[in-house]
Amino acid sequence: MSKPNHKPSRTQSQAKAAKRDVRTGIMMLSGAVLGLGMVATQVFGDSHEAIIESHGYSFFGELKYDADFTHLDYVNPDAPKGGEISTWVPGTFDSFNPYTRKGRSGALASAGTENILTTVADDPTASYCLLCSTMEYPESKDWVIFNLRPEAKFSDGSQLTANDIKFSFDLLMEQGLPSFRSAFGGQISDVDVVDDFTIKFTFTEDAPRRDVIELAGGMPAFSQKWYEETGARLDESRLDPGLGSSAYQLESFDIPRRIIYARNPDYWGADLPINLGRSNFDRIRIEYFADGSAAFEAFKSGAYTFRSENSSKQWATGYEFPSLEKGWVVKTELENGSMATSQSFVFNLRREKFQDPRVREAIGLMFNFEWSNETLFFGLYERINSFWENSDMAAFGAPSEGELALLQPLVDQGLIDASILTADARLGPASSDRQLDRGNLRRASALLDEAGWIVGDDGMRRKDGELLEVEFLESSPAFDRVISPYVQNLERLGVRATLDRVDYAQATDRERSYDFDMITHQMPMSFEPGSGLKQYFGSEAVSESTRNAMGVADPAVDALIEVIINASELQEMQTAVTTLDRVLRHMNFWVPQWFKDKHTVAYYDMYEHPEVLPPFARGELDFWWYNAEKGEALEAAGAF
């Protein structure tokens, strides 16, 4: 396993190094504009700005795949179609509308919908045409035109047109989540239908130009006809996902037990180069279980067939059962070059008691990762220290010259403490091999004393008559063994700590309304972060985004996010990201948990995948395939 804050893996370095200047198909208006004819004159007017036409977009570099690529490098273009793959998720569901906060959306609820652009697993900072065949934009990136594919169809065979894209934007702006309206409405000023298969997005003057094309390309395609005929609303929970255009559509469901998606045999995009070797299973089945133990027993009996194991204890001690011993089940580790998801306990900074950084630091000192890893996780994990863990953008050691140039003005304005200029990037506290590290206990006690939380005769800490309490909101029983020792350590500190384990619906409702002290949260970052950072850490989203569960609202963070968004050079962006990582860690609003750079998976031996997997995707639902001969043999042997 790679160590926290070490050098990036070779695949990540190569992926970043490959990003240089994209200038594909530059053409001037004085020449012929491919595919637009007289429409181009209407759209472009008399401007003589260079127009770029391309099949994909990457702000910082060349696209890995040129316009004539035949298939993605990591797929088997001859993979057979057929069979079923099944997996599990915890909890329950009561909706298939993922675009509202109402209800709990089913797994893969957005699988039936396609976006204008799509991403691939070996070119992490690029987007490629899916619903479009090409895109055109000026060097200023004041607008982008997407030339849609006339062959694109919804699953009922009806035509997908620019009118559907325009309708989707308007619907999302009217009925979508506030976070969406804020992101899109602040950057897109107009969406115009040029003709049935040509749509133009015009961007606001102050919209960051690095993000805008991919932002527009992320627009989903809803069927205007379906919404108008059904009267469905985007802001209401419903059990019909609506009419989509993708390879998979909802086949059936049984609340709260399972969901089945079926491959559309008439999928319009099956033969596109970007889709060859993908969407190989006839059906994807999702089984729901109340807890991980029940799910594991079901896997052992063949109730579902693919399992990504997230319990280290199970992985180390539980895989001794007949199906494995008979060779019916494969247990293996696959390489994982992806960034860690920043999984951590996070404080709700909206609560006054957590606004004092000394309180947060003291509480964080009581989580013993080293003891947890050896005692509970069988040594399988590494500590997360960075929001960009397992990448070359994680802050390490003292600030570089580039970081200091960004930090000094923030210090001069009093937005951040000057100690950050000389301090090493904050790491999670090291602990001993005993559950309660007495050194950390003494440090935490001193911090709380200094913050005014004094121990009373009953051994509990109070300030102004208020008891210092910390409640962990959790829905997964698997976390009991992790949180319970943490609670015990906090009690030794004089904190009244409790674990409130609730069902998934309650957890969702309370997290959305910010009704918690601490939760386990994930903040997955990207290799080319942009305006999406505002959803996780920006002041604008503090009252409307569940991604900013912590309630971060800090002017220094906002300033650095703007630097990242407006960066025009790769090194400039990377330096700003590393600086932001350093500042976020300095704020100490999280208690980092753990990650591993391997996928630990088990599956019934009827699935196959390319010998070399891409660095940033495991891909079992994407580009794995079913071996019918093996599947029939397993069924005949009684594996299921």
Give per-residue pLDDT as tens, 458-495: 999 999 999 999 999 999 888 999 999 999 999 999 99
Mean pLDDT of the chain: 90
- What pLDDT score does 26 carry? 25
Q: How confident is the model at residue 183 (pLDDT cuts 50, 70, 90)?
A: confident
Residue found by looking up tokens 């396993």 in the block: 1
For residue 371, report the phi and psi dihedrals to the nearest 5 degrees. -65, -45
263's enclosing H/E stretch is strand 258-263
pLDDT over threshold 60, residue 40 = no
What tokens does 368 get? 């013993």
Instruction: Name all contacts of 201-205 with Cβ < 8 Å and 24+ positions apart.
Output: 201/143, 201/144, 201/145, 201/146, 202/142, 202/143, 203/141, 203/142, 203/143, 203/144
pLDDT over threshold 90, residue 30 = no
Other CB atoms closer than 10 Å to residue 23's CB: what's the count?
11
pLDDT over threshold 80, residue 11 = no
Other CB atoms closer than 10 Å to residue 131's CB: what's the count?
26
Q: How confident is the model at residue 47 (pLDDT cuts 50, 70, 90)?
A: low
What is the rounded average pLDDT of the residues 146-150?
Answer: 98
pLDDT over threshold 70, residue 90 = yes
- What pLDDT score does 568 carry? 85
> Is the domain covering 344-591 a CATH 3.10.105.10 domain?
yes
* Percent of residues, the chain, with pLDDT higher than 70: 92
The C-alpha atoms of residue 311 and residue 318 are separated, in whole angstroms, by 10
- What pLDDT score does 504 carry? 85
Hey, what's the torsion of the CAs at 569, 577, 386, 420, to 10 degrees?
130
Domain segments of the chain as ranges: 248-336+598-637, 344-591
What is the rounded average pLDDT of the residues 222-245?
Answer: 96
Q: How confident is the model at residue 258 (pLDDT cuts 50, 70, 90)?
A: very high
Question: pLDDT tens across 159-171, in order?
Answer: 999 999 999 999 9
- What pLDDT score does 34 carry? 30
Residue found by looking up tokens 């325009």 in the block: 166
- What pLDDT score does 181 carry? 79
Q: Hey, what CATH topology would domain 248-336+598-637 get? A: D-Maltodextrin-Binding Protein; domain 2 (3.40.190)
Asked if 481 and 453 touch (Cβ cutoff 8 Å), the reply is: no
pLDDT over threshold 70, residue 2 = no
What is the rounded average pLDDT of the residues 315-335?
Answer: 94
- What pLDDT score does 44 carry? 44
Query: How buried is 320 (Cβ within 10 angstroms: 0-12 exposed, 13-18 middle, 19+ buried)?
Result: exposed
The C-alpha atoms of residue 45 and residue 477 are separated, in whole angstroms, by 62
- What pLDDT score does 13 carry? 35
What is the rounded average pLDDT of the residues 297-318?
Answer: 94
pLDDT over threshold 80, residue 56 = yes
What tokens does 440 get? 């950390």
Q: How confident is the model at residue 348 (pLDDT cuts 50, 70, 90)?
A: very high
The C-alpha atoms of residue 425 and residue 386 are separated, in whole angstroms, by 9
Cβ contacts of 164 within 8 Å, gap of 6 or more: 221, 222, 223, 224
pLDDT over threshold 70, residue 41 = no
Q: Where are the alpha helices (DSSP H) in 23-161?
A: 38-44
- What pLDDT score does 312 carry? 86
Other CB atoms closer than 10 Å to residue 173's CB: what's the count?
14
* Nearest alpha-carbon partner for 305 in 107, 87, 89, 90: 87
What is the rounded average pLDDT of the residues 277-298?
Answer: 95
Question: pLDDT tens across 502-558, in order?
Answer: 998 899 889 989 999 999 999 999 888 988 899 999 998 888 888 999 999 999 999
pLDDT over threshold 70, residue 226 = yes
pLDDT over threshold 60, residue 370 = yes
